[in-house]
Amino acid sequence: MSEDQSCIIHHFSHYCSLSKEEKELLVTLEESPTDIKSGALLWEIGDSANEFCTLKSGWAYSYRHLENGDRQILEIYLPGDIIGLREFAFSQRLENVRMITNGVVCHFPHKRLLEIFRLSVPLTSVMFAIASRHQALTTERLITLARRSARQKTAHFLYEMHARLSQTNSHLDGKFKLPLSQEQLADILGLSPVHVSRTFSLLSEEGLVYRDRHNVTIPNLEALAAAGEFDECYLNDNVRPLFEACA
């Protein structure tokens, strides 16, 4: 596989400059790819947690079911993401993970990550940066669910998705595919599907967001960020200054 074809290299390169050797190490995490269909379960709560997986292509999400049958979606995974990092210190899975779209997943055992830690300080630092960002995303999602209005929740989420996708695709220009159903959006935002529909209509009337099925257009990113009270600091995960200071 060439470096240009590797989603994980694109993803890690957002954090710091990578040497040829480090890129070769990352490519090994995309060996033995498995095609996965939309809706397929990667694992569920209670399964043995002895490996990670990289999402080479496609979208996935983690979630928990509540006692009343409701579902809360916890995190959206995009191409290049590593799934399962938060369970590195646990023997069992803490959440369910399911594919949103068709995709390609590459599994690798925990011990492979330990080998990377031994061989590369920069990649180890990026892994810590990624784990820290996951924690920041979870914290921001908690604030959104607990304190923001439906309009703010939706605007914040859409701007966040655009910002995350822009890390590996700098040519979005306010347009991207959002392959989420009304029900999935509701379970992310803590709203009902009807409320999600009404909120998208409101944002469209205000000229902030236009959605045509799974295609989203944001005419003015700054205006949408303001509507969602978005503070980009929790996505500012560039660790290049750290390496420059240590050079």
pLDDT digits 0-9 by tens, 90-126: 999 999 999 999 999 999 888 888 899 999 988 998 8
Domain 149-228 sits in CATH 1.10.10.10: yes
pLDDT (0 to 100) of residue 4 = 52
Dihedral angle computed from the Cα positions of residues 165, 138, 60 and 119, in that order, rounded to the nearest 10 degrees = 80
User: Could you tell me which residues come within 8 angstroms of residue 89 by beta carbon, excluding any fewer than 6 positions away?
Assistant: none
Tell me the backbone φ, ψ of residue 85, rounded to 5 degrees. Answer: -60, -40
How far is 133 from 44, CA to CA, in rounded Å? 23
pLDDT (0 to 100) of residue 122 = 87
The model carries a pTM of 0.88
Helices 110-119 & 121-147 angle (0-180, nearest 10): 120
Q: Please report, for the chain, the start and end positions of each structural domain, with discontinuous segments joined by +.
A: 3-141, 149-228
Residue 48: DSSP 8-state: B
Per-10-residue mean pLDDT of the chain, 247 residues long, equals: 67 83 88 93 95 92 91 93 89 96 92 89 86 86 92 96 87 93 96 96 97 95 95 70 52
pLDDT (0 to 100) of residue 247 = 46
Which residue shows structure tokens 């496609």? 58
**Burial classification of residue 209, based on how many CB atoms lie within 10 Å of its CB (0-12 exposed, 13-18 middle, 19 or more buried):** buried
H or E segment to which residue 226 belongs: helix 221-227
Cα separation values, 7 from 10, 39, 193, Å: 5, 21, 32
- Which class in CATH covers the domain with range 3-141? mainly beta
> Cα angle at 174 between 168 and 176, to 5 degrees?
60
User: Could you tell me which residues come within 8 angstroms of residue 88 by beta carbon, excluding any fewer than 6 positions away?
Assistant: 52, 110, 113
> Cα angle at 37 between 98 and 29, to 5 degrees?
75
Closest CA to 175 of 226, 218, 220: 218
H or E segment to which residue 119 belongs: helix 110-119
Residue 17: DSSP 8-state: -
> Cα angle at 239 between 233 and 243, to 5 degrees?
150
Which residue shows structure tokens 């595919």? 177
Same fold, 3-141 and 149-228: no
User: Could you tell me which residues come within 8 angstroms of residue 223 by beta carbon, excluding any fewer than 6 positions away?
Assistant: 207, 208
Dihedral angle computed from the Cα positions of residues 150, 151, 152 and 158, in that order, rounded to the nearest 10 degrees = 100
pLDDT (0 to 100) of residue 214 = 94
